A and B are shown apart, each in its own frame.
Chain A
Amino acid sequence: MQKFTNHPPRKKSWLARLSQKLQHGDRLWQTLIISMSLLVVGVILAIGGLLWRESAGSRLQFGWGFLSPLGESSWNPVSNSFKAWSFIYGTLITSWVAIAIAVPLSLGIAIFLAELCPAWLRTPLGLMVELLAAIPSVVYGLWGIFVFLPAVVVPTGTLLEETLGAIPGLQVLLAGPVSLNGSSRLAAGMILAIMILPTIAAVSRDVLLAIPPSQREASLALGATRWETIWRVLLPYGFSGILGAVILGLGRALGETMAVTMVIGNSIEGSYSLLRPGYTLSSVIANEFAEAVSPLHTQALVEIALILFVMTLVLNGVARALVWNVSRRNPQEVRA
């Protein structure tokens, strides 16, 4: 029988000791992943914080009046007086136009892809819609300036001016001659529509695809047509998810910079018309920041960035809440 003796532990080299420590290096791992997560969360707080700090002077000087449509002054770097209203208006109206155009189209696409299209066509078409989202903003802008504006915006604008522009209530929106080269809020809205289409369409399609087939069967078995099933059962069923998709699209439209700044004309002209050049929150920053004439000017621009930040923060929160709502209050729960 073999004899077992207790050998005293051998002294280990520093390398062996180090690797032993690292082998149970879970503490290191945990530290790493926690610190990186803190970093990411910290970045968002830092963005908010830095924007807040760098706009301090402007915020103190102009207060809430910065945002208001009332009052005399407007954005004037020369006299160091700044108001953001015309940019807020520009951002809102272009986004509104974009949503008005994009939502019906996106719903149509989502319905087509989810309900009607043969299975083999679904992936290639879906891919093509997603490619629309991959085109860089500047390329949209370039094509916008030289192709889309003359070919589509100018005729559309002229047509709108002549037809709807005659209606009394709409005159504010459709007043004035279309600018010669077509750069206008309408142009920005239309190009934004193309850019946010993929977002809304893809999410809506996924929402529709997630609806259980039993709902469709129930409706069709009652003698409804396909369209009636889609309109009366599926769209209401997926409503919150689709609303979330629209809000996501809206968020994208609000923050879009390059394509907008290239086709909107960048002008602080006083009118509210869609057919005239305008300015948005993002495009004024893009245009003026690098050549800001005074520290107050810079601060005002940072304050505009802060406004944008808060707007998208709120929208994102709402969209998120809608999506969480959909997944939590899952209507398929059947209490037996």
Chain B
Amino acid sequence: MNIATNLSTTQSISAPQTQTGAQVNLAVPKAQVTALPAKMELQALSVFYNTFQAIAEITLTIPANQITAIIGPSGCGKSTLLRALNRMTDLTPNAHVEGAVTLDRENIYAPGVDVVDIRRRIGMVFQRPNPFPMSIYENVAYGPRLYGIRQRKVLDEIVESSLQRVVLWDEVKDKLGQSGMALSGGQQQRLCIARALAVEPDVILMDEPASALDPIATLKIEELMQILKNTYTIVIVTHNMQQAARVSAYTAFMMINQNRAGTLVEFGQTSQIFTNPRNKQTEAYVTGRFG
């Protein structure tokens, strides 16, 4: 299912209103018809905390093997949206979700779906690196062990390949037994990515992965993302517009509407969003007039 087909079904859903009352255009330009396959789709996704609506009916497509960035001013619900994609919102009491999120065309919120499997297939990297207080080896091996893999040889292979994928192997191969917390911030974050890769996900969600890191570490992470996207689909939330412009192919711009719910203002190719945004608010945000 490609993006163009997807959008034709979404136009029947009422598009969010901007403050001036104008209709928001959700369409991707027609040049996109030779479309990329969609890995995940959000269909009128809403997130509620008790009766308060935090996310208002967002419809979006995440193309496979691309980096999709979600940008917007603080508090607009980007992180909430990201967490809804791997059902981490289930962990917040009083949170409930309406609408659908599909992964490979199967709704992950359908009743009877195995949440544990969803979370394996959709991995997450957090803003602050959070390695476990175990050795580097054990951090990466944590996931595979959960899935019953016990043989030393197999685990060694998985750990090595995961660490190589995040370009950390050479730096740590002699000190795999050292605590994961003894690494620098940038290394810890790459360790966390390696940990997520070890369970063979299809999608990687990243919540401001470099915001706690220095510029050089940030650069390394961004380079890493470019390589990873060939194998995985990546969705990144960032408050740093320049970062979104640097790394992503597609960008979604979110804002809070009158009811304090996060809504999608515009979605499209990154180059288009940043150089020729269709929506006035998008233009105001990317040119830095507010944020």
Contact = CB atoms under 8 A, between A and B. Distances in A.
Interface string A210-251: 001011011111111100100011001100000000000000
B93 A118 contact: yes
Interface in B173-222: 181-185, 188, 192, 195-196, 199, 212-214
A213 to B, nearest CB: 9
B142 A222 contact: yes
Given A215-B132, A218-B126, A331 B181 contact: yes
A72 interface: no
Among A222, A225, A333, A334, the most chain B Cβ lie within 10 Å of the Cβ of: A222
18 contacts: A214-B126, A217-B91, A217-B124, A218-B130, A218-B195, A221-B123, A221-B126, A222-B120, A222-B143, A222-B199, A223-B116, A223-B117, A224-B142, A224-B146, A334-B128, A334-B181, A334-B212, A336-B184
Contacts of B212: 334, 336
Contacts of B130: 212, 214-215, 217-218
Contacts of B213: 336
A22 to B, nearest CB: 54
A221 B86 contact: yes
**Closest 10 pairs (CB-CB, A-B):** A223-B120, A221-B124, A214-B130, A223-B119, A336-B185, A218-B130, A331-B133, A222-B143, A223-B116, A224-B146
Given A214-B126, A217-B91, 15 more contacts: A118-B93, A214-B128, A215-B132, A218-B132, A220-B119, A221-B119, A221-B124, A221-B196, A222-B119, A222-B196, A224-B143, A233-B132, A333-B181, A334-B181, A336-B184
Contacts of A212: 130
A335 interface: yes
B194 to A, nearest CB: 12
Interface residues of A, number: 24
Contacts of B134: 236
A219 B116 CA distance: 11
B126 A220 contact: no
Contacts of A119: 93
Contacts of B133: 236-237, 331
Nearest to A232: B142
A68 to B, nearest CB: 43
A336 B214 contact: yes
Nearest to B131: A218
Contact of A228 (B86, B120, B146, B196): B146
